[in-house]
Structure 1
Amino acid sequence: MSTTQSERLRELLEPLVSSQGLDLEELAVDSVGRKRVLRVVVDSDTGADLDRIADVSRALSAKLDETDAMGEGEYTLEVGTPGAERALTEHRHYVRAVDRLVKFQLAEGGELVARILKVDDDGLDLEVPGVKGRKPTSRRLGFPEIDKARVQVEFNRKDSKNEKEEEA
C-alpha cells in the first residue's frame, strides 16, 4: 500500500472511528490472491466489545462505499482490537496496560519482564517479579530506556478487582 493511500485512508477513517469513542490504532491493506483486505485495528481506554466493533465496522463500510478510497477492485474490511499480546507504542497503550505483565526490550540491551504499576509523562513504575521465592522489587523505567514493549499473556493471573475484594 502506498504511503499516500495509507494517509488518505487514515484521514478518511480516523474521524469516524473517533466519533465512535475509539482510537484508530492500525490500518493496513494486504493482498490475498486477487482480493485485498483492509485491516483496521481499534481500541479505547475501556476496551472495545463486539457491539462497538460491529458499529464502527458498519460506519467504516458505509464511508468506504461512498468514496473511492479503496479503488475499483474487490476488498474485504476486517475490524478488530489489538489482541492479547499487543505492542505498546503510544503513551495511551502503557496507561491501558497498568496491572499487566510486560516484556521490555531495553535501549541499552537486554530485556526485562515486569508488571506496570503506574504511568506518568516521563516513564513507568514497575514491579519486577521475584525469582526463586524472592519478593518482587520496584523499578522505575523512563520511556527513553524502552526500545520495545509487548504485553504478556498470563493464564493464571488473578483479576486485580477480585484480588482487592478478597483482601478486604
Structure 2
Amino acid sequence: MQEVIEKLKPVVVDILKNLGLELFDLSFKREKGNWVLRVVIDDPNGYVGIKQCEKVSNELGQYLDVNNLIEHSYVLEVSSPGLDRPMRGVQDYKRFVGRLAKFWLIDGRFIMGHIRHADEVKVVVETESGMVDFSPEQVNKSKLEVEF
C-alpha cells in the first residue's frame, strides 16, 4: 500500500506543520485482519502529549473522511515516538544533548551515557567510565533511554 502512503504523506506533513508538529513515521499495513494507518508525530519543542495526538487524529480523520483517500475500512492510530524513541541522526543528537542515550556503532561497540555534545563531525557521550567520542557516521542505531 505504498501508493496510499505517497498520497497521504504530504497531507499529513501539512496538517502537522500547521499544528507545530513533525512527522516521525507513517505506515499503512494489514495487522490481524484490519488495515492500520499509523501516524507517529513529534514535537520539536518537547514531548508529544495526548491532546496533540487527539487533535491530529481529529483533523486527519476529518480530512480522510471528506476526501475518501482510503477506499476501505481502516483504523487510524496517532501516537508519539515514546520516551525511549529511536534517534535519527545529528539533528536528534543535537536536540537531545544532556539526555541519556544508547548508541550501537558499526564497529560493534555499544555506548550508553549522556550526550554532552553533538555536531556533524563528532558526538561526545559521558559514560560511567569517562567521555567517549565518535563521528555520527559510525552510528548504526541509537535511541534515548528513560531516566528515573
Q: TM-score, normalised by structure 2?
A: 0.88
User: Is 2:133 the partner of 1:140?
Assistant: yes
Measure how far apart 1:79 and its partner are.
0.6
User: Which position in structure 1 is the counterpart of 2:12?
Assistant: 13
User: Which position in structure 2 is the counterpart of 1:70?
Assistant: 70
Moved more, 19-28 or 46-55: 46-55
Contact 2:89/2:136, CA 8 A, preserved across alignment:
no
CA distance in structure 2 between the aligned counterparts of 1:100 and 1:76, rounded to whole angstroms? 34
Unmatched 5+ stretches in structure 2? none
Measure how far apart 1:96 and its partner are.
3.3
Unmatched 5+ stretches in structure 1? 131-136, 156-168
User: Which position in structure 2 is the counterpart of 1:117?
Assistant: 116
User: Which position in structure 1 is the counterpart of 2:59?
Assistant: 59
Measure how far apart 1:146 and its partner are.
0.8
Measure how far apart 1:153 and its partner are.
2.5
User: Is 2:42 the partner of 1:49?
Assistant: no
Larger Cα-atom Rg: 1
Measure how far apart 1:88 and its partner are.
0.8
Provide, for residues 7-33 of structure 1, a one-character-per-residue CA deviation record: whole Å limited to 9, x for no partner: 221122111111110010001113234
CA distance in structure 2 between the aligned counterparts of 1:93 and 1:146, rounded to whole angstroms? 13
Read off the aligned partner of 1:39 and give its amino acid letter: R
Q: CA RMSD in A?
A: 1.7
Q: TM-score, normalised by structure 1?
A: 0.78
Read off the aligned partner of 2:30 and give its amino acid letter: S
CA distance in structure 2 between the aligned counterparts of 1:56 and 1:6, rounded to whole angstroms? 17
